[in-house]
Structure 1
Amino acid sequence: MPPLEAADDRLQQAMNTVLLAALPGLLALFWLYGWGVLINLLLAVISALLVEAAVANLRRQAVQPALRNGSALVSAMLLAVALPAYCPWWLTVTATVSGLLFGKHLYGGVGRNPFNPAMLGFALSMVLFPQAMTHWPGHGLDFPSALQQVFNPAPAPDAWAQATALDSLRINKSLTIDELFASNPAFGRFGGRGVEWVNLAFLLGGLWLLQRRIFSWHAPVGMLASLFLISLLCWNGSGSDSHGSPLFHLLSGATMLGAFFIVTEPVSGAKSALARLLFGIGVGLLTYLIRTWGGYPDGVAFAVLLMNLLVPTLERFAASRHLPVST
Protein backbone atom coordinates (compact mmCIF):
# COMPACT_ATOMS: atom_id res chain seq x y z
CA MET A 1 0.00 0.00 0.00
CA PRO A 2 1.42 3.44 -0.90
CA PRO A 3 2.49 5.58 2.10
CA LEU A 4 -0.18 8.23 1.51
CA GLU A 5 -2.95 5.64 1.35
CA ALA A 6 -1.65 3.98 4.52
CA ALA A 7 -1.63 7.36 6.30
CA ASP A 8 -5.18 8.04 5.12
CA ASP A 9 -6.31 4.65 6.43
CA ARG A 10 -4.70 5.29 9.82
CA LEU A 11 -6.36 8.70 10.01
CA GLN A 12 -9.74 7.23 9.09
CA GLN A 13 -9.41 4.48 11.71
CA ALA A 14 -8.43 6.98 14.40
CA MET A 15 -11.31 9.32 13.55
CA ASN A 16 -13.80 6.44 13.55
CA THR A 17 -12.54 5.40 16.98
CA VAL A 18 -12.95 8.96 18.28
CA LEU A 19 -16.52 9.09 16.97
CA LEU A 20 -17.31 5.77 18.62
CA ALA A 21 -15.83 6.97 21.92
CA ALA A 22 -18.06 10.06 21.80
CA LEU A 23 -21.21 7.91 21.62
CA PRO A 24 -21.77 7.71 25.42
CA GLY A 25 -21.56 11.49 25.67
CA LEU A 26 -23.93 11.95 22.74
CA LEU A 27 -26.44 9.58 24.30
CA ALA A 28 -26.18 11.44 27.61
CA LEU A 29 -26.79 14.76 25.85
CA PHE A 30 -29.78 13.27 24.04
CA TRP A 31 -31.16 12.07 27.39
CA LEU A 32 -30.67 15.57 28.80
CA TYR A 33 -31.78 17.80 25.91
CA GLY A 34 -33.65 15.55 23.51
CA TRP A 35 -33.98 15.90 19.75
CA GLY A 36 -32.15 19.20 19.50
CA VAL A 37 -28.83 17.41 19.94
CA LEU A 38 -29.48 15.05 17.01
CA ILE A 39 -30.73 17.90 14.81
CA ASN A 40 -27.55 19.85 15.60
CA LEU A 41 -25.50 16.78 14.73
CA LEU A 42 -27.29 16.18 11.42
CA LEU A 43 -26.96 19.82 10.35
CA ALA A 44 -23.29 19.94 11.31
CA VAL A 45 -22.45 16.69 9.50
CA ILE A 46 -24.24 17.73 6.29
CA SER A 47 -22.57 21.16 6.37
CA ALA A 48 -19.13 19.64 6.99
CA LEU A 49 -19.43 17.13 4.14
CA LEU A 50 -20.61 19.82 1.73
CA VAL A 51 -17.66 22.04 2.66
CA GLU A 52 -15.21 19.17 2.19
CA ALA A 53 -16.69 18.30 -1.22
CA ALA A 54 -16.74 21.93 -2.38
CA VAL A 55 -13.14 22.58 -1.35
CA ALA A 56 -11.94 19.35 -2.98
CA ASN A 57 -13.65 20.35 -6.22
CA LEU A 58 -12.14 23.84 -6.11
CA ARG A 59 -8.69 22.33 -5.64
CA ARG A 60 -9.35 19.76 -8.37
CA GLN A 61 -8.83 16.91 -5.92
CA ALA A 62 -10.70 13.65 -5.50
CA VAL A 63 -13.78 14.18 -3.38
CA GLN A 64 -14.07 10.67 -1.92
CA PRO A 65 -10.81 10.72 0.14
CA ALA A 66 -11.73 14.12 1.59
CA LEU A 67 -15.10 12.79 2.72
CA ARG A 68 -13.78 9.44 3.91
CA ASN A 69 -10.95 10.41 6.28
CA GLY A 70 -13.37 11.35 9.06
CA SER A 71 -11.69 14.56 10.27
CA ALA A 72 -14.62 16.71 9.11
CA LEU A 73 -17.07 14.40 10.90
CA VAL A 74 -15.15 14.75 14.17
CA SER A 75 -15.18 18.55 13.85
CA ALA A 76 -18.91 18.43 13.09
CA MET A 77 -19.54 16.22 16.11
CA LEU A 78 -17.59 18.53 18.44
CA LEU A 79 -19.51 21.56 17.22
CA ALA A 80 -22.85 19.80 17.45
CA VAL A 81 -22.36 18.95 21.12
CA ALA A 82 -20.77 22.30 22.00
CA LEU A 83 -23.52 24.45 20.48
CA PRO A 84 -26.75 25.00 22.41
CA ALA A 85 -29.38 22.39 21.69
CA TYR A 86 -32.26 23.84 19.63
CA CYS A 87 -30.13 26.75 18.41
CA PRO A 88 -31.29 28.19 15.05
CA TRP A 89 -30.28 26.06 12.08
CA TRP A 90 -28.22 28.84 10.57
CA LEU A 91 -26.05 29.03 13.68
CA THR A 92 -25.03 25.38 13.40
CA VAL A 93 -24.36 25.75 9.68
CA THR A 94 -22.41 28.99 10.13
CA ALA A 95 -20.28 27.59 12.95
CA THR A 96 -19.45 24.43 10.98
CA VAL A 97 -18.67 26.16 7.68
CA SER A 98 -16.58 28.92 9.27
CA GLY A 99 -14.71 26.45 11.48
CA LEU A 100 -13.70 24.23 8.56
CA LEU A 101 -12.95 27.05 6.12
CA PHE A 102 -11.07 29.39 8.46
CA GLY A 103 -9.72 26.74 10.82
CA LYS A 104 -8.55 24.10 8.34
CA HIS A 105 -8.84 24.77 4.61
CA LEU A 106 -7.46 28.31 4.76
CA TYR A 107 -4.16 26.72 5.82
CA GLY A 108 -4.15 23.91 3.27
CA GLY A 109 -6.43 21.24 4.70
CA VAL A 110 -5.91 18.19 6.89
CA GLY A 111 -2.62 18.16 8.76
CA ARG A 112 -1.84 21.85 8.31
CA ASN A 113 -4.27 23.69 10.57
CA PRO A 114 -2.68 25.66 13.45
CA PHE A 115 -6.04 26.05 15.22
CA ASN A 116 -8.63 23.51 16.29
CA PRO A 117 -11.30 23.94 13.56
CA ALA A 118 -14.28 23.11 15.77
CA MET A 119 -13.20 25.49 18.53
CA LEU A 120 -12.52 28.26 16.02
CA GLY A 121 -16.04 27.87 14.62
CA PHE A 122 -17.46 27.88 18.14
CA ALA A 123 -15.48 30.95 19.20
CA LEU A 124 -16.44 32.92 16.09
CA SER A 125 -20.10 32.12 16.72
CA MET A 126 -19.78 33.14 20.37
CA VAL A 127 -18.33 36.50 19.38
CA LEU A 128 -20.71 37.16 16.47
CA PHE A 129 -23.93 35.72 17.92
CA PRO A 130 -23.62 35.91 21.72
CA GLN A 131 -27.35 35.91 22.43
CA ALA A 132 -28.06 32.81 20.37
CA MET A 133 -25.03 31.04 21.86
CA THR A 134 -26.25 31.47 25.44
CA HIS A 135 -29.82 30.26 24.79
CA TRP A 136 -29.72 26.86 26.51
CA PRO A 137 -32.90 24.79 27.01
CA GLY A 138 -34.15 23.78 30.41
CA HIS A 139 -35.38 20.43 29.07
CA GLY A 140 -35.98 18.56 25.82
CA LEU A 141 -38.81 18.94 23.32
CA ASP A 142 -40.74 16.41 21.29
CA PHE A 143 -39.61 15.99 17.70
CA PRO A 144 -42.17 18.30 15.97
CA SER A 145 -41.56 21.03 18.54
CA ALA A 146 -37.81 20.56 18.15
CA LEU A 147 -38.03 21.06 14.37
CA GLN A 148 -40.19 24.14 14.91
CA GLN A 149 -37.71 25.60 17.37
CA VAL A 150 -34.68 24.99 15.12
CA PHE A 151 -36.08 25.98 11.73
CA ASN A 152 -38.71 28.54 12.67
CA PRO A 153 -37.77 29.69 16.16
CA ALA A 154 -40.24 31.63 18.23
CA PRO A 155 -39.41 33.46 21.44
CA ALA A 156 -38.94 30.74 24.03
CA PRO A 157 -40.72 31.00 27.38
CA ASP A 158 -38.55 31.84 30.38
CA ALA A 159 -39.56 28.54 31.96
CA TRP A 160 -37.91 26.68 29.07
CA ALA A 161 -34.72 28.69 28.46
CA GLN A 162 -32.30 29.09 31.34
CA ALA A 163 -28.74 30.07 32.17
CA THR A 164 -26.23 27.26 32.63
CA ALA A 165 -24.73 26.47 36.01
CA LEU A 166 -21.43 28.11 35.04
CA ASP A 167 -23.18 31.27 33.91
CA SER A 168 -25.38 31.37 37.02
CA LEU A 169 -22.35 31.04 39.27
CA ARG A 170 -20.40 33.70 37.36
CA ILE A 171 -23.12 36.35 37.71
CA ASN A 172 -24.11 35.41 41.27
CA LYS A 173 -23.63 38.26 43.73
CA SER A 174 -25.68 37.41 46.80
CA LEU A 175 -26.53 33.71 47.19
CA THR A 176 -24.25 31.19 48.82
CA ILE A 177 -23.24 28.07 46.92
CA ASP A 178 -25.63 25.99 49.02
CA GLU A 179 -28.48 28.39 48.24
CA LEU A 180 -27.65 28.32 44.54
CA PHE A 181 -27.69 24.54 44.41
CA ALA A 182 -30.95 24.43 46.35
CA SER A 183 -32.85 27.10 44.43
CA ASN A 184 -31.49 27.19 40.86
CA PRO A 185 -32.66 24.37 38.54
CA ALA A 186 -29.43 24.61 36.53
CA PHE A 187 -27.47 23.04 39.40
CA GLY A 188 -27.33 19.34 40.14
CA ARG A 189 -25.61 17.49 42.96
CA PHE A 190 -22.03 18.49 42.17
CA GLY A 191 -22.13 20.52 38.95
CA GLY A 192 -24.62 21.41 36.23
CA ARG A 193 -27.88 19.45 36.42
CA GLY A 194 -27.58 16.53 34.06
CA VAL A 195 -24.30 17.94 32.73
CA GLU A 196 -22.57 15.97 35.48
CA TRP A 197 -23.61 12.75 33.74
CA VAL A 198 -22.65 14.14 30.34
CA ASN A 199 -19.14 14.87 31.63
CA LEU A 200 -18.87 11.40 33.14
CA ALA A 201 -19.98 9.88 29.81
CA PHE A 202 -17.30 11.79 27.89
CA LEU A 203 -14.80 10.78 30.59
CA LEU A 204 -15.73 7.14 29.95
CA GLY A 205 -15.18 7.55 26.21
CA GLY A 206 -11.93 9.42 26.80
CA LEU A 207 -10.53 6.69 29.04
CA TRP A 208 -11.33 4.15 26.33
CA LEU A 209 -9.41 6.26 23.81
CA LEU A 210 -6.46 6.32 26.21
CA GLN A 211 -6.66 2.56 26.55
CA ARG A 212 -6.65 2.26 22.75
CA ARG A 213 -3.63 4.63 22.64
CA ILE A 214 -5.30 7.02 20.24
CA PHE A 215 -3.47 9.76 22.14
CA SER A 216 -1.14 9.99 25.14
CA TRP A 217 -2.15 10.95 28.68
CA HIS A 218 -0.17 14.19 28.83
CA ALA A 219 -2.66 16.80 27.54
CA PRO A 220 -5.80 15.43 29.27
CA VAL A 221 -4.05 14.93 32.62
CA GLY A 222 -2.40 18.34 32.35
CA MET A 223 -5.71 20.07 31.72
CA LEU A 224 -7.70 18.26 34.42
CA ALA A 225 -4.93 18.50 37.02
CA SER A 226 -4.37 22.23 36.50
CA LEU A 227 -8.12 22.96 36.50
CA PHE A 228 -8.50 20.96 39.71
CA LEU A 229 -5.53 22.62 41.39
CA ILE A 230 -6.38 26.23 40.57
CA SER A 231 -10.04 25.76 41.49
CA LEU A 232 -8.93 24.19 44.77
CA LEU A 233 -6.54 27.06 45.54
CA CYS A 234 -9.19 29.69 44.67
CA TRP A 235 -12.07 27.91 46.38
CA ASN A 236 -13.35 29.69 49.47
CA GLY A 237 -16.16 27.40 50.48
CA SER A 238 -19.84 28.18 50.16
CA GLY A 239 -19.74 31.97 50.36
CA SER A 240 -21.56 34.19 47.89
CA ASP A 241 -18.22 35.14 46.35
CA SER A 242 -17.18 31.53 45.85
CA HIS A 243 -16.03 30.49 42.38
CA GLY A 244 -17.07 26.86 42.77
CA SER A 245 -15.42 23.72 44.06
CA PRO A 246 -12.91 21.65 42.07
CA LEU A 247 -15.56 18.97 41.56
CA PHE A 248 -17.99 21.58 40.25
CA HIS A 249 -15.51 22.70 37.59
CA LEU A 250 -14.61 19.16 36.60
CA LEU A 251 -18.27 18.17 36.14
CA SER A 252 -19.66 21.34 34.55
CA GLY A 253 -19.51 22.80 31.07
CA ALA A 254 -17.36 21.09 28.45
CA THR A 255 -14.57 19.99 30.79
CA MET A 256 -14.34 16.30 29.91
CA LEU A 257 -15.18 16.90 26.26
CA GLY A 258 -12.33 19.39 26.19
CA ALA A 259 -9.87 17.16 28.03
CA PHE A 260 -10.30 14.04 25.91
CA PHE A 261 -11.72 15.14 22.56
CA ILE A 262 -10.39 18.69 22.03
CA VAL A 263 -6.96 19.23 23.62
CA THR A 264 -5.90 15.89 22.14
CA GLU A 265 -6.41 17.09 18.54
CA PRO A 266 -3.11 15.96 16.97
CA VAL A 267 -2.51 18.67 14.37
CA SER A 268 -3.12 21.93 16.21
CA GLY A 269 -1.89 20.52 19.52
CA ALA A 270 1.65 19.86 20.68
CA LYS A 271 3.73 16.89 19.54
CA SER A 272 6.33 16.18 22.25
CA ALA A 273 5.39 14.77 25.64
CA LEU A 274 6.46 17.79 27.66
CA ALA A 275 4.83 20.23 25.23
CA ARG A 276 1.57 18.25 25.38
CA LEU A 277 1.63 18.34 29.17
CA LEU A 278 2.26 22.09 29.19
CA PHE A 279 -0.43 22.59 26.55
CA GLY A 280 -2.98 20.80 28.74
CA ILE A 281 -1.89 22.71 31.84
CA GLY A 282 -2.31 25.99 30.00
CA VAL A 283 -5.79 25.05 28.76
CA GLY A 284 -6.89 24.12 32.29
CA LEU A 285 -5.60 27.35 33.82
CA LEU A 286 -7.07 29.56 31.09
CA THR A 287 -10.40 27.74 31.26
CA TYR A 288 -10.70 28.56 34.96
CA LEU A 289 -9.62 32.18 34.50
CA ILE A 290 -12.13 32.75 31.70
CA ARG A 291 -14.93 31.01 33.60
CA THR A 292 -14.26 33.02 36.73
CA TRP A 293 -13.25 36.48 35.58
CA GLY A 294 -13.87 36.50 31.82
CA GLY A 295 -16.93 37.43 29.84
CA TYR A 296 -17.90 33.88 28.82
CA PRO A 297 -19.34 31.17 31.07
CA ASP A 298 -17.24 28.29 29.69
CA GLY A 299 -13.72 29.07 28.53
CA VAL A 300 -12.61 25.78 26.97
CA ALA A 301 -12.80 26.95 23.34
CA PHE A 302 -10.96 30.23 23.90
CA ALA A 303 -8.39 28.51 26.14
CA VAL A 304 -7.63 25.94 23.42
CA LEU A 305 -7.26 28.60 20.71
CA LEU A 306 -4.95 30.71 22.88
CA MET A 307 -2.78 27.69 23.61
CA ASN A 308 -2.74 26.81 19.89
CA LEU A 309 -0.85 30.06 19.42
CA LEU A 310 1.76 28.95 21.95
CA VAL A 311 2.40 25.50 20.48
CA PRO A 312 5.60 26.53 18.60
CA THR A 313 6.98 28.09 21.79
CA LEU A 314 6.10 25.00 23.81
CA GLU A 315 7.81 22.76 21.24
CA ARG A 316 10.98 24.87 21.30
CA PHE A 317 11.01 24.73 25.10
CA ALA A 318 10.55 20.96 25.05
CA ALA A 319 13.28 20.56 22.45
CA SER A 320 15.67 22.55 24.64
CA ARG A 321 15.13 19.90 27.32
CA HIS A 322 16.13 17.17 24.82
CA LEU A 323 13.04 15.10 25.52
CA PRO A 324 11.72 12.60 22.96
CA VAL A 325 8.60 13.08 20.86
CA SER A 326 5.70 11.06 22.26
CA THR A 327 3.78 8.84 19.86
Structure 2
Amino acid sequence: MIHKYGPHIFNTDNKEVWDYIQQFCEMIPFINRVKTIYKGKVYSLPINLHTINQFFDKSFNPEEAKEFINSISDKTIDEPKNFEEQAMKFIGKDLYKAFFYGYTKKQWGCEPTELPATILKRLPVRFNYDDNYYVNPYQGIPKNGYTEIFENMLSASNIEVKLNTKFDSSWDLSEYEHTFYTGPIDSFFDFKYGRLSYRTVYFEKYVSDGDYQGNPVINYADPEISYTRVHEHKHFTPWESHDKTVYFKEYSKETLETDVPYYPKRLKSDMDIYEKYQNDVNNLNNITFLGRLATYRYMDMHHVIGEALDLIDKNY
Protein backbone atom coordinates (compact mmCIF):
# COMPACT_ATOMS: atom_id res chain seq x y z
CA MET A 1 0.00 0.00 0.00
CA ILE A 2 3.05 2.28 0.06
CA HIS A 3 3.28 4.27 -3.16
CA LYS A 4 7.00 3.88 -3.76
CA TYR A 5 7.16 6.50 -6.52
CA GLY A 6 5.01 9.13 -4.85
CA PRO A 7 1.27 9.34 -4.17
CA HIS A 8 -1.05 8.12 -6.92
CA ILE A 9 -4.81 8.60 -6.73
CA PHE A 10 -6.55 7.14 -9.75
CA ASN A 11 -8.96 9.69 -11.22
CA THR A 12 -10.61 10.06 -14.60
CA ASP A 13 -13.62 11.48 -16.43
CA ASN A 14 -13.54 8.55 -18.86
CA LYS A 15 -15.94 5.78 -17.82
CA GLU A 16 -14.37 3.37 -20.30
CA VAL A 17 -11.00 3.79 -18.56
CA TRP A 18 -12.62 3.51 -15.12
CA ASP A 19 -14.42 0.30 -16.09
CA TYR A 20 -11.31 -1.11 -17.76
CA ILE A 21 -9.01 -0.74 -14.76
CA GLN A 22 -11.58 -2.33 -12.46
CA GLN A 23 -11.23 -5.59 -14.36
CA PHE A 24 -7.97 -5.98 -12.47
CA CYS A 25 -8.74 -4.54 -9.03
CA GLU A 26 -11.42 -3.28 -6.70
CA MET A 27 -11.35 0.52 -6.60
CA ILE A 28 -12.32 2.14 -3.31
CA PRO A 29 -13.63 5.72 -3.66
CA PHE A 30 -11.07 8.18 -2.34
CA ILE A 31 -11.03 11.99 -2.28
CA ASN A 32 -7.60 13.61 -2.17
CA ARG A 33 -7.66 16.69 0.06
CA VAL A 34 -4.26 18.34 -0.19
CA LYS A 35 -3.02 20.94 2.28
CA THR A 36 -0.14 23.36 1.94
CA ILE A 37 1.96 25.06 4.60
CA TYR A 38 3.13 28.63 4.01
CA LYS A 39 4.84 30.71 6.69
CA GLY A 40 3.66 28.41 9.45
CA LYS A 41 -0.01 28.29 8.46
CA VAL A 42 -1.97 25.45 6.86
CA TYR A 43 -4.17 26.16 3.83
CA SER A 44 -6.34 24.07 1.50
CA LEU A 45 -5.46 23.34 -2.12
CA PRO A 46 -6.53 23.94 -4.80
CA ILE A 47 -7.13 27.59 -3.94
CA ASN A 48 -10.78 27.76 -2.91
CA LEU A 49 -13.08 30.05 -0.98
CA HIS A 50 -11.69 28.88 2.35
CA THR A 51 -8.10 29.49 1.17
CA ILE A 52 -8.96 33.00 -0.02
CA ASN A 53 -10.83 33.97 3.14
CA GLN A 54 -8.16 32.53 5.42
CA PHE A 55 -5.25 34.07 3.54
CA PHE A 56 -6.74 37.58 3.35
CA ASP A 57 -8.58 37.35 6.71
CA LYS A 58 -11.95 37.87 5.05
CA SER A 59 -15.39 36.26 5.05
CA PHE A 60 -16.28 36.65 1.38
CA ASN A 61 -19.19 34.87 -0.19
CA PRO A 62 -18.55 33.37 -3.67
CA GLU A 63 -19.49 36.50 -5.63
CA GLU A 64 -17.49 38.78 -3.33
CA ALA A 65 -14.48 36.50 -3.66
CA LYS A 66 -14.73 36.53 -7.46
CA GLU A 67 -14.86 40.33 -7.48
CA PHE A 68 -11.92 40.52 -5.07
CA ILE A 69 -9.71 38.13 -7.05
CA ASN A 70 -10.64 39.98 -10.22
CA SER A 71 -9.56 43.24 -8.58
CA ILE A 72 -6.09 41.93 -7.62
CA SER A 73 -5.36 39.95 -10.79
CA ASP A 74 -2.93 41.50 -13.27
CA LYS A 75 -5.05 43.09 -16.01
CA THR A 76 -2.00 44.12 -18.03
CA ILE A 77 -1.41 40.51 -19.09
CA ASP A 78 -3.47 39.59 -22.15
CA GLU A 79 -1.89 36.35 -23.39
CA PRO A 80 0.32 34.80 -20.67
CA LYS A 81 3.72 33.84 -22.05
CA ASN A 82 4.84 31.74 -19.09
CA PHE A 83 3.79 30.14 -15.80
CA GLU A 84 4.28 33.29 -13.75
CA GLU A 85 2.22 35.46 -16.06
CA GLN A 86 -0.54 32.87 -16.10
CA ALA A 87 -0.68 32.88 -12.31
CA MET A 88 -0.53 36.66 -12.03
CA LYS A 89 -3.38 36.97 -14.52
CA PHE A 90 -5.50 34.43 -12.62
CA ILE A 91 -4.91 35.25 -8.96
CA GLY A 92 -2.58 38.24 -8.58
CA LYS A 93 0.80 38.63 -6.95
CA ASP A 94 0.09 37.72 -3.29
CA LEU A 95 -1.54 34.31 -3.85
CA TYR A 96 0.99 33.49 -6.56
CA LYS A 97 3.97 34.25 -4.31
CA ALA A 98 2.47 32.32 -1.41
CA PHE A 99 1.28 29.11 -3.05
CA PHE A 100 3.03 28.80 -6.41
CA TYR A 101 6.32 30.65 -6.66
CA GLY A 102 8.41 28.80 -4.07
CA TYR A 103 6.85 25.38 -4.65
CA THR A 104 7.19 25.67 -8.43
CA LYS A 105 10.80 26.80 -8.23
CA LYS A 106 11.65 23.79 -6.04
CA GLN A 107 9.69 21.39 -8.22
CA TRP A 108 11.12 22.51 -11.56
CA GLY A 109 14.52 23.87 -10.55
CA CYS A 110 14.14 27.12 -12.48
CA GLU A 111 12.32 30.41 -12.35
CA PRO A 112 8.60 30.10 -13.13
CA THR A 113 9.10 32.62 -15.93
CA GLU A 114 10.98 29.87 -17.81
CA LEU A 115 8.06 27.43 -17.66
CA PRO A 116 5.12 27.30 -20.08
CA ALA A 117 1.82 28.80 -18.96
CA THR A 118 0.00 25.51 -19.55
CA ILE A 119 1.42 23.90 -16.38
CA LEU A 120 -0.79 26.04 -14.13
CA LYS A 121 -3.99 24.91 -15.83
CA ARG A 122 -3.85 21.73 -13.73
CA LEU A 123 -4.73 23.75 -10.58
CA PRO A 124 -8.07 25.58 -10.77
CA VAL A 125 -9.30 28.35 -8.50
CA ARG A 126 -12.67 27.63 -6.88
CA PHE A 127 -15.12 30.07 -5.42
CA ASN A 128 -16.76 27.56 -3.09
CA TYR A 129 -15.48 25.38 -0.24
CA ASP A 130 -14.77 22.35 -2.41
CA ASP A 131 -11.29 21.09 -1.46
CA ASN A 132 -11.33 17.96 -3.63
CA TYR A 133 -7.97 18.15 -5.40
CA TYR A 134 -9.42 16.63 -8.58
CA VAL A 135 -12.49 17.50 -10.64
CA ASN A 136 -12.96 14.13 -12.34
CA PRO A 137 -16.11 12.15 -11.40
CA TYR A 138 -14.29 8.83 -10.92
CA GLN A 139 -11.70 8.84 -8.13
CA GLY A 140 -10.27 5.96 -6.14
CA ILE A 141 -7.40 3.83 -4.91
CA PRO A 142 -7.09 0.05 -5.50
CA LYS A 143 -8.20 -1.74 -2.34
CA ASN A 144 -5.20 -4.07 -2.40
CA GLY A 145 -2.72 -1.66 -3.97
CA TYR A 146 -1.51 -1.05 -7.51
CA THR A 147 0.68 -4.19 -7.57
CA GLU A 148 -2.44 -6.34 -7.81
CA ILE A 149 -3.46 -4.59 -11.05
CA PHE A 150 -0.28 -5.66 -12.81
CA GLU A 151 -0.28 -9.15 -11.33
CA ASN A 152 -3.79 -9.70 -12.69
CA MET A 153 -3.11 -7.97 -15.99
CA LEU A 154 0.03 -10.02 -16.69
CA SER A 155 -1.52 -13.33 -15.65
CA ALA A 156 -3.03 -13.84 -19.12
CA SER A 157 -1.68 -16.97 -20.82
CA ASN A 158 -0.65 -15.08 -23.98
CA ILE A 159 1.65 -12.68 -22.12
CA GLU A 160 5.29 -13.56 -21.52
CA VAL A 161 7.20 -11.33 -19.12
CA LYS A 162 10.99 -11.01 -19.28
CA LEU A 163 12.57 -9.31 -16.29
CA ASN A 164 15.93 -7.50 -16.28
CA THR A 165 15.63 -6.97 -20.03
CA LYS A 166 16.17 -3.29 -20.73
CA PHE A 167 15.49 -2.17 -24.28
CA ASP A 168 18.61 -1.94 -26.45
CA SER A 169 18.73 0.03 -29.69
CA SER A 170 20.74 -2.77 -31.31
CA TRP A 171 17.71 -5.10 -31.25
CA ASP A 172 16.35 -6.12 -34.63
CA LEU A 173 12.72 -5.03 -34.30
CA SER A 174 11.86 -6.53 -37.68
CA GLU A 175 11.67 -9.87 -35.85
CA TYR A 176 8.45 -8.69 -34.20
CA GLU A 177 5.01 -8.11 -35.66
CA HIS A 178 4.76 -4.83 -33.75
CA THR A 179 6.64 -3.02 -30.98
CA PHE A 180 5.12 -0.73 -28.38
CA TYR A 181 7.81 1.45 -26.85
CA THR A 182 7.22 3.36 -23.60
CA GLY A 183 10.78 4.34 -22.67
CA PRO A 184 12.42 7.75 -23.17
CA ILE A 185 12.30 8.78 -26.81
CA ASP A 186 15.82 10.26 -26.73
CA SER A 187 17.20 6.99 -25.29
CA PHE A 188 15.62 5.01 -28.16
CA PHE A 189 17.73 7.01 -30.60
CA ASP A 190 20.89 6.86 -28.45
CA PHE A 191 20.58 10.59 -27.67
CA LYS A 192 21.84 11.52 -31.14
CA TYR A 193 20.19 14.95 -31.02
CA GLY A 194 20.94 15.46 -27.33
CA ARG A 195 19.19 14.64 -24.07
CA LEU A 196 15.74 15.92 -23.24
CA SER A 197 15.47 17.47 -19.80
CA TYR A 198 13.34 16.04 -17.01
CA ARG A 199 12.86 16.61 -13.34
CA THR A 200 13.13 13.62 -11.07
CA VAL A 201 12.19 13.16 -7.43
CA TYR A 202 13.72 11.28 -4.54
CA PHE A 203 12.37 10.43 -1.12
CA GLU A 204 13.46 10.24 2.50
CA LYS A 205 11.53 7.51 4.30
CA TYR A 206 10.49 7.68 7.96
CA VAL A 207 8.73 5.14 10.17
CA SER A 208 7.25 6.05 13.53
CA ASP A 209 4.39 5.39 15.91
CA GLY A 210 1.07 7.17 15.66
CA ASP A 211 0.13 9.78 13.08
CA TYR A 212 2.71 12.18 11.63
CA GLN A 213 0.59 14.81 9.85
CA GLY A 214 -3.06 13.70 9.79
CA ASN A 215 -3.39 13.97 6.00
CA PRO A 216 -2.21 12.05 2.92
CA VAL A 217 -0.35 14.95 1.29
CA ILE A 218 0.89 18.28 2.62
CA ASN A 219 2.83 20.64 0.35
CA TYR A 220 5.51 22.99 1.64
CA ALA A 221 5.31 26.25 -0.26
CA ASP A 222 8.17 28.13 1.45
CA PRO A 223 11.27 28.14 -0.77
CA GLU A 224 13.50 27.88 2.33
CA ILE A 225 12.22 24.33 3.01
CA SER A 226 14.11 22.03 0.68
CA TYR A 227 11.44 19.35 0.22
CA THR A 228 8.28 19.95 -1.80
CA ARG A 229 5.79 17.81 0.09
CA VAL A 230 5.28 15.06 2.65
CA HIS A 231 3.02 12.07 1.98
CA GLU A 232 1.84 9.77 4.74
CA HIS A 233 0.59 6.51 3.33
CA LYS A 234 -1.76 5.28 6.05
CA HIS A 235 -4.11 8.12 5.07
CA PHE A 236 -4.48 6.76 1.53
CA THR A 237 -6.22 3.69 3.00
CA PRO A 238 -8.84 4.93 5.50
CA TRP A 239 -10.45 1.46 5.32
CA GLU A 240 -7.36 0.10 7.13
CA SER A 241 -6.10 0.78 10.64
CA HIS A 242 -2.40 1.01 11.61
CA ASP A 243 -0.72 1.92 14.88
CA LYS A 244 2.53 2.82 13.14
CA THR A 245 3.01 5.16 10.20
CA VAL A 246 5.23 5.48 7.12
CA TYR A 247 5.81 8.88 5.57
CA PHE A 248 8.12 10.32 2.96
CA LYS A 249 9.65 13.72 2.40
CA GLU A 250 9.83 14.36 -1.33
CA TYR A 251 12.61 16.32 -3.02
CA SER A 252 12.93 17.39 -6.63
CA LYS A 253 16.08 17.69 -8.69
CA GLU A 254 17.42 17.66 -12.22
CA THR A 255 17.56 14.23 -13.81
CA LEU A 256 21.02 12.73 -14.22
CA GLU A 257 21.88 9.75 -16.41
CA THR A 258 21.40 7.28 -13.55
CA ASP A 259 18.09 8.80 -12.33
CA VAL A 260 14.53 7.79 -13.17
CA PRO A 261 12.93 10.59 -15.26
CA TYR A 262 9.55 11.79 -13.94
CA TYR A 263 8.42 15.13 -15.33
CA PRO A 264 9.20 16.34 -18.88
CA LYS A 265 10.34 19.96 -18.60
CA ARG A 266 9.35 20.84 -22.18
CA LEU A 267 11.37 24.03 -22.34
CA LYS A 268 11.77 25.59 -25.78
CA SER A 269 15.19 24.00 -26.22
CA ASP A 270 13.68 20.61 -25.30
CA MET A 271 10.85 20.94 -27.77
CA ASP A 272 13.30 21.76 -30.58
CA ILE A 273 15.18 18.53 -29.81
CA TYR A 274 11.97 16.54 -29.39
CA GLU A 275 10.74 17.63 -32.83
CA LYS A 276 13.84 16.09 -34.41
CA TYR A 277 13.26 12.80 -32.62
CA GLN A 278 9.57 12.82 -33.55
CA ASN A 279 10.46 13.29 -37.21
CA ASP A 280 12.56 10.12 -36.97
CA VAL A 281 9.69 8.29 -35.28
CA ASN A 282 7.42 9.21 -38.18
CA ASN A 283 9.77 7.36 -40.53
CA LEU A 284 9.65 4.08 -38.57
CA ASN A 285 7.38 1.16 -39.34
CA ASN A 286 5.63 -1.31 -37.02
CA ILE A 287 6.43 0.57 -33.84
CA THR A 288 4.24 2.76 -31.64
CA PHE A 289 5.54 5.22 -29.04
CA LEU A 290 3.24 5.43 -26.01
CA GLY A 291 3.22 7.07 -22.59
CA ARG A 292 4.85 9.95 -20.79
CA LEU A 293 8.49 9.22 -21.67
CA ALA A 294 8.03 8.08 -25.25
CA THR A 295 5.84 11.06 -26.20
CA TYR A 296 7.58 13.57 -23.89
CA ARG A 297 4.34 14.84 -22.36
CA TYR A 298 3.01 15.11 -18.83
CA MET A 299 0.36 12.38 -18.64
CA ASP A 300 -1.61 10.97 -15.75
CA MET A 301 -2.42 7.26 -15.47
CA HIS A 302 -5.86 7.61 -17.02
CA HIS A 303 -4.49 9.54 -20.02
CA VAL A 304 -2.03 6.74 -20.80
CA ILE A 305 -4.68 4.03 -20.44
CA GLY A 306 -7.17 6.01 -22.53
CA GLU A 307 -4.70 6.51 -25.38
CA ALA A 308 -3.72 2.83 -25.32
CA LEU A 309 -7.37 1.74 -25.51
CA ASP A 310 -8.04 4.18 -28.36
CA LEU A 311 -5.02 2.87 -30.24
CA ILE A 312 -6.21 -0.72 -29.95
CA ASP A 313 -9.78 0.20 -30.97
CA LYS A 314 -8.54 1.93 -34.12
CA ASN A 315 -5.97 -0.64 -35.20
CA TYR A 316 -7.07 -4.02 -33.90
Larger Rg: 2
Q: TM-score, normalised by structure 2?
A: 0.25
- Bigger RCO of structures 1 and 2 (CA < 8 A, at least 6 apart): 2
When you count helix as a share of all residues, which structure comes out higher? 1
**Higher strand share goes to which structure?**
2
**What TM-score results when the alignment is normalised by the length of structure 1?**
0.24
